[in-house]
Amino acid sequence: MGRLFDLEDSGYFYTRLANPTVDAVAAQICNLEGGVGAILTASGQAANLFAVINIAGVGDHIIAANNIYGGTFNLLGVTLPKLGIGITFLKAEASDEEIQSAIQPNTKLVFGETISNPGVEVFDIERWAAVAHRNGLPLVIDNTFATPVLCRPFEWGADIVTHSTTKYIDGHGVSVGGALVDSGNFPWDAYPERFPGLTTPDASYHGLTYTKQFGKAAYIVKATTHLMRDLGSIQSPQNAFYLHLGLQTLHLRIKRHSESALQVARWLEKCPDVAWVRYPGLESDPHHALAQKYVPDGCSGVLCFGLKGGRTFDNRFLDALRLTTIETHVADCHTCVLHPASHTHRQLSDEQLRAAGIAPDLIRFSVGLEAPEDIIADLEQALAAAKA
């Protein structure tokens, strides 16, 4: 037991730090991503929190793309600043020079989403990684929508990957969870002053130094032994068991989600009631070229669109959907829909919505595993009902 507590032996002695079921599933996600180590967290929020505070603290600064998931936007933009971690949000299209000029001496990492939620924009991982690495910074990528089946961010230079496993990896809406995966590629030791938590002795473990003792796995071992020990956000073993079931079919599901979503997007594009459609798999989409590079086998099941009829029409349409359910959840085997202006962001005016980067008419549509003809038929009848 003493050797376990000194991190001299590895083994299981308390589930808050490590559990064999959780580790087995974490290892599968780690293998899919091509990393050196991974941990499962209680939620996607916990994974992104850990990804940042494993290497950033009071007085530090981070950079993130401004099109990221709303929950992460709040975590990084409101809650972490209260803990003393400053942030600069940049457009995902920011030029190399704009990214460069946002980097400060106290900047610790750069953050983006492979396919953003809800705008479904594809992040130029390789370009951002190059600027980050020139400045001695790791790139953290939230790979939730793409999943490692469609994109492996480490192959494009990302250093750390996070997931909300609640979405496609589980896929059936049965377990909230997250994952944090370490590529093992970032040379922490080359920047000892920037990452002292990894490169100098840890007093809470008898002065061991993570990079010395654990080499390529320094980051993920610190996240486990330090953050998991102290903050306690491990995924429950029962949720990891459910996640394991989801993983068995992820490669089949995500392919079907992507094929059906492209079919639905093509139908929406031709529909006279639809003002605009965004799905990176469409040739007309501004992110199509990036999609061909990063997610050539499919762009997941999530798309978004706007209707021409205005907000009352939007609400009549949403209420008339029958197969599709209105849900906060997304990226699930069942088709579901969300209108941020009427649901998650209903306290904001149209002006405030635009300032937050959300078009007031944006409808996020998550294409499930039902027959695509049935999904299209549901859209068709709901539009007809909204017009009646």
Ligand X SMILES: *Cc1c(COP(=O)(O)O)cnc(C)c1O
Q: Which residues lie near ligand X (CB under 6 A)?
A: 43-45, 69, 71-72, 113, 117, 142, 144, 164, 166-167, 176, 178
Which residue, chain included where needed, has tokens 């079931």? 245
Nearer to ligand X by Cβ, of 179 and 320: the residue is 179
Q: Quote the least distance from Cβ 103 to ligand X, whole Å.
A: 24
Q: In the numeric block, which tokens belong to residue 388?
A: 């009646």
What Rg value do the Cα atoms of the chain yield, rounded? Answer: 21
H-run or E-run covering 64: strand 61-65
Q: Quote the least distance from Cβ 71 to ligand X, whole Å.
A: 5
Cα separation, 191 vs 252, whole angstroms: 42
User: What is the CB neighbour count within 10 angstroms for residue 281?
Assistant: 23
Nearer to ligand X by Cβ, of 161 and 386: the residue is 161
181-23-71 Cα angle (round to 5): 45
Q: Quote the least distance from Cβ 329 to ligand X, whole Å.
A: 8
* Cis, peptide link before residue 118, omega less than 30° from 0: yes
Nearer to ligand X by Cβ, of 165 and 183: the residue is 165
Q: Quote the least distance from Cβ 249 to ligand X, whole Å.
A: 19
**Residue of closest CB approach to ligand X:** 44
Dihedral sign, Cα of residue 285, residue 289, residue 291, residue 297:
positive
Q: What are phi and psi of 324, to 5 degrees?
A: -85, 135
Nearer to ligand X by Cβ, of 10 and 328: the residue is 328
Nearer to ligand X by Cβ, of 178 and 184: the residue is 178
Nearer to ligand X by Cβ, of 42 and 130: the residue is 42
Nearer to ligand X by Cβ, of 167 and 226: the residue is 167
3-state secondary structure of 37: strand
Phi/psi-derived region of residue 60, left when phi > 0, alpha when psi is between -120 and 50, beta in every other case: beta
Distances (CA, A) of 349 to 72, 357, 365: 21, 12, 22
H-run or E-run covering 70: helix 70-74
Cα separation, 161 vs 170, whole angstroms: 17
Nearer to ligand X by Cβ, of 152 and 167: the residue is 167
Q: How far is CA 35 from the centre of its chain?
A: 17
Torsion of CA 280, 286, 289, 294, to 10 degrees: -50
Q: Quote the least distance from Cβ 68 to ligand X, whole Å.
A: 7
Q: Quote the least distance from Cβ 47 to ligand X, whole Å.
A: 7
